[in-house]
Amino acid sequence: MPKDALGARIALAIQASAGASAVLSVGPVVTSAHYMDGGKQLVVRFSVAEAAGGLVLSNNESCPSTMLDVYCTGAGFEVRGGSDDADGVWVPVRNATAGADGKSVVLGVSAKPDRVRYAYADWPLVMVRNRVGGLPARIFDIAVH
């Protein structure tokens, strides 16, 4: 992360902690993950501040060409399990769309994974942000229900 962007985020956090209630200092925060459409889609829900205007999903993020796959998976979301031969293995999800409600992301999955995680890489692809202000979602690893 560039130092100027980091400095701006720290300044927002300090303003919010000092009581500036109108300051938006947090990106979307995951709240749950559940199946839809008979298990072919995984819906990841987020808590998004009212002032953020919902969330946006950027599918054009990519790994730098000089980056090894072990450091950058090429996807912001990964799922674990879901089939007998893939249990315990994290698989990148390349089919993600923003939910119509502005507070969720829908992932296309081929089987029913037991966990989903986001931005778990040495070079994470930050795809989920607030619509207003562009603050990114936090890293997470949660169970799917």
What's the CATH number for 27-143? 2.60.40
Q: What is the DSSP pairing of strand 55-57 with strand 41-47?
A: unpaired
Rounded to a whole number, what is the largest CA-CA distance in the chain?
A: 51
The owner of tokens 């990106």 is 27
Q: How far apart are CA 128 and CA 145, in angstroms?
A: 21
Write down the pLDDT at residue 137.
95
Note the pLDDT of residue 110.
85
Every domain of the chain and the residues it spans: 27-143
Whole-model pTM: value is 0.85
The pLDDT of residue 54: 95
- The tens place of each residue's pLDDT in the chain, 145 residues long, gives 557 766 776 776 677 677 766 667 789 999 999 999 888 899 999 999 988 999 999 988 899 999 888 899 889 999 997 655 556 889 999 899 999 999 999 999 988 899 999 999 999 999 999 999 889 999 999 999 9
